Amino acid sequence: MQPSTIRLLASALLIQVASLGALHARAQAPNAAMAPVPQYLIPSASAEVALARSAAPASISSAAEVLVLKRDGYTTAAKGSNGWVCLVERSFAAATDDPVFWDPKVRGPICVNPPAARTYLPGILMKARLALAGRSKTQIAQAVASAMDSKKLPMLEPGAMSYMLSRQQYLGAAGKHWHPHLMFFVPGDMSKGWGANLPGSPVFSGNDPEDRMTMFFVLVAHWSDGTPAS
């Protein structure tokens, strides 16, 4: 199983999520190695801020802290007042065994709520720092596991969730812009407890053993700008 953020339609979606289990859609073929760092960066900080804020309605994102990716990791580009954090996740937010892990085209605008900002986001920021520092997939996976074992990375808090409603999201060659959706982060493997991935269920999920969590995906009808999703 592989993860870190979603995608596809109908039966294809069910197959995709079951095998992917997370935030990025899988590419058709694996990226064997990291691309040059500039390919992961967005040259304009203001453009990246706008893209990050497009993950959620303005009523949330306009007061959120915004992070942008630099050569050594994420840094704060705009301070917030509501406890939410918006950023554009890159491919290394996925599990290291996900074929999309080194895809430099991935852009996943996401706004996380306060519990997720405290307990989901630290792992994403850590993986980005390690990837940009030139660490291998194996080294990144080992570092994350060690940080979890030593409690340097916190356990997910109840209620940790996020919005991914940007029309501009690109989640991989298979999913591309996929659907606007909410994501909920739960410790351990909890798919059965939520009735996810069952016929007729509106909830999709994927277990991420590497990050020791289950991600639940709930599709919504509109993008953050109010336009309907196809």
Q: How much is the average pLDDT of 171-192?
A: 85
pLDDT digits (tens, 9 = 90+) for 22-44: 433 333 445 679 999 999 999 99
Comparing CA positions, the residue from 210, 171, 219, 177 lying closest to residue 26 is 171
Q: How much is the average pLDDT of 124-139?
A: 97
pLDDT for 5 beyond 50 = no
pLDDT-derived band at 119 (thresholds 50, 70, 90) equals: very high
Least confident of 41-55, 85-99, 138-152, 173-187: 173-187
Could you tell me what percent of the chain has a pLDDT over 90?
72
DSSP assignment string, 43-90: S-HHHHHHHHHTTS-HHHHTTSEEEEEETTEEEEEE--SSS-EEEEE-
Burial class (CB in 10 A: 0-12, 13-18, 19+), 145: middle
